[in-house]
Amino acid sequence: MRKPVLLATAKSENIIEVTISKDFYTSPKKLFTLYEDDKIICDIEPVSKSESQSTFIYSLLLNDFIYVPGRKYEIKTSENYFIPLDISFLAEQEEFEKKYRFDGELGAVYHTDKTTFRVFSPFATEVLLKIQRKNSDRLEIYKMIPDRENGVFSIDVEGDLDEASYLYSPTIFGETKDVVDPYSYSVGINSRIGYVINPEKIKSISTHDESLPPFSDPLKAFIYECSVRDMTSKTSIPHPGTFSALSLDNQAKKGEPIGLDYIASLGMTHIQLLPVLDFHTIDDERPKDSYNWGYDPYFFFAPEGSYSLNPKDPYSRVLELRNLIGQMHAHGLRVILDVVYNHVFCVEFNPLAVLVPKYYFRTNHDHSSSNGSGCGNDFESRHYMARKLIIDSLMHLLDFYDVDGFRFDLLGILDIDTVNKAYQAVIERKPEALLYGEGWDLPTALPGDKKASISNSHQLKGIAFFNDRFRDIVKGSTTSLSVKGYLSGDTNYIDGFKHVFLGSSIALAFAPLLSSPLQSINYIECHDNHTLYDKLKSCCQDESEEDIFKRLKLCNAATCLASGIPFFHAGQEIGLSKEGLGNTYNAGDEINGFDYDIAYHRKDLLLFFKDVIHFKKRFFALTDSLKDVNKHITFENLDHNAIKINYIYDDQELYLIFNPTKQSFTYNFDDYVNLVFTDAGNVEHNDFYIRLAIINGLSLNIFLKNKRTKR
């Protein structure tokens, strides 16, 4: 039998909408009564009635009534049926947001003799805490104590609750649901329960900070993006696709490094890990049966269970993630986490939406869900406790895992104030941390001047942005695969290439996109969209594989050497393919897994990549000059629209000649220069000085002039 519909929703302070199924009542109603905490407030006659085939819908009008969150409201019918009244509209109001704020610790705050539990839920009339201690079959239930001034429920539970499982059970608008604490530091298998964690156990594992080289200048970073699963999924490393597998060193295939050793061999300074916090769509018990990058977030404090050796053990995932970061630090690599605060996988089942309906997720003027993220919901970062959750999560990740920065997915969904406050909190804790994100201007319900988008970069001085202008000018349009860029063969983009080579911060061919090169994440491939190799294969279909590889080298070199922060996606260095597919977020290990056999067979590409990284490190004084690009960098157009880039600093000058055409030509220097780098990589021990240079097609040549050396 179909369950009859009985709903009552306050649309505003004055209007209540009551929906009653015709299966329940066959005749219209003429009178309703409003109750508050089981006491009669007033009788209300409907001001209008409509009906569909299955329901009656009544509009009730109240005068000068003020709802108080935390109290129980009901609408009684003339037959004495009580319908819980939903007053969640209040969560969208400024008065609610300003009143219900809390600055203390939320979640399970552990001490050896007690644990304090706190949860934010202003609408709840009651919240129960359900606990099961480790090695106990007994369920303990405690009624939490409300603080009606700030909307937080709390309770101290005596004893050592280390590894106890727990749930909250709030009663909101007459309905009681069990939910996992959104502040849980660890969750059970498939995220169905939270656990109390002793921070000292986590921090007992060294993160090997002492092994990290000094770092203070973002322009000296080299960022390598990879997935925990992808880097080992096609290997024989024990437990492939897990935190543990990627943390192992001394791993090799055919005598060549794989996994963490491979990444460490490249010369990177930072690893950016695709999401490692708990996400929704992978079955922890059978992770190989499905695949996802993790942009379907669930919990913002707990690591993902499918990457763990034992997702049933609450400590396993936490300790393994900390150990992985420690091992990366031991190899001299800083770790950036990809964090997804702009949306969740499913609002209806998310604990945040259960605990405070309509508070954490942005709505349009008509009260529909804002969907700039394309995921059906946008996080309302302007709300105090939503902003607190983001910043608390970042602080927790710094504290528990000693990470070195954050990449924000769809950063433009968040508001400027939240991002600036997050930046200040992170930098106060770890001054050398990097923060950057996707600054796309997305159609979220937020005024344009409030979005943390790339167009507002001047208001976000400490934040860097993925530079899609660099990406599309260097390699060609990302959305139209057949369209070429400067280094893929359309030399009409020569002035645009100059612009992006200066960090898109100077008015040259385009208006400045960014305030300085420090804000430019220079990239041409990331996990989204097609790989660089697949793009080049598509837009240069008439070219040989050898020529494709030459262009790939040019693109990688430009990314490394341009003003800004170079960013590379795993496999870009050796031309990995995704079989022509673009967004492969759920395409499986066969498509996404790193193929070390290709690295073995394309050693020339790999060595070139390492050489160009080494070259930039060798001339890091050049990086210092990039902060004042107008003063230190000039350009010269050459034959066939090739380009010469002049770096002038101290007593030396560097000349970079990019030739993205197939034509060769000669170039006369006005003084003797030393050839130090070619499309074959570093030129070692070359003491031969020249004035006339032969520039081959599809090549990069770099020449050094030492002003103190007279020839």
Q: Residue 384's closest CA among 692, 84, 99?
A: 99
For every residue of 197-261, DSSP letters joined together read --HHHHHTS---GGGSPP---GGG--EEEE-TTTTTTTS-SSSTTSHHHHH--S-EETTEE-THH
Spatial distance between the Cα atoms of 387 and 380, rounded to a whole number of angstroms: 8
438, 468, 472, 679: which is the annotated catalytic residue?
A: 438
Cα–Cα nearest to 44, from 65, 25, 68: 65
Q: Contact at 8 Å (CB) between 633 and 502? A: yes
Three-state secondary structure call for residue 109: strand
- In degrees and rounded to multiples of 5, residue 468 shows phi and psi of -70, -20
Per the structure block, which two tokens stand in for 156?
A: 């101290």
Q: What is the dihedral of CA 568, 570, 573, 574, to 10 degrees?
A: -160
3 state SS of 329 = helix
Number of Cβ within 10 Å of residue 408's Cβ equals 25
Give the other-Cβ count within 10 Å of 283's Cβ.
14
**Angle (deg, nearest 10), helices 468-475 and 494-501:** 140
Q: How far apart (Å, rounded) are the C-alpha atoms in residues 98 and 35?
A: 27
Contact assessment for residue 407 and residue 339, using Cβ atoms and an 8 Å cutoff: yes
Q: Are strands 464-466 and 434-437 parallel, antiparallel or unpaired?
A: parallel
What is the spatial distance between Cα 355 and Cα 252, in angstroms, rounded to a whole number? Answer: 49
Q: Given the residues 162, 409, 525, 573, select the one marked as catalytic.
A: 409
Contact between 664 and 695 under an 8 Å Cβ cutoff? The reply is yes
Q: What angle do CA 416, 426, 350 make, to 5 degrees?
A: 70
99-102: Cβ within 8 A, 24+ apart: 99/149, 100/69, 100/150, 100/151, 100/384, 100/385, 101/150, 101/384, 101/385, 102/150, 102/151, 102/152, 102/385, 102/388
Rg for the chain, CA atoms, rounded:
29
5 with 55: CB under 8 angstroms?
Answer: yes
Question: What are the φ and ψ backbone dihedral angles of 18, each rounded to 5 degrees?
Answer: -115, 125
**Integer Cα distance of 514 and 396 in angstroms:** 30
Partners of 120 in the β-ladder: 152
- How far apart CA 88 and CA 92 sit, in angstroms, is 8
* Start-to-end C-alpha separation, the chain: 97
> Running DSSP on this structure, what letter comes out for residue 279?
B
Contact 249, 257 (CB under 8 A): no
Encode 335-353 in three state secondary structure: EEEEECCCCCCCHHHCHHH
User: What's the CA gap between 360 and 347, in Å, rounded?
Assistant: 10
438 is catalytic: yes
Residues catalogued as catalytic: 409, 438
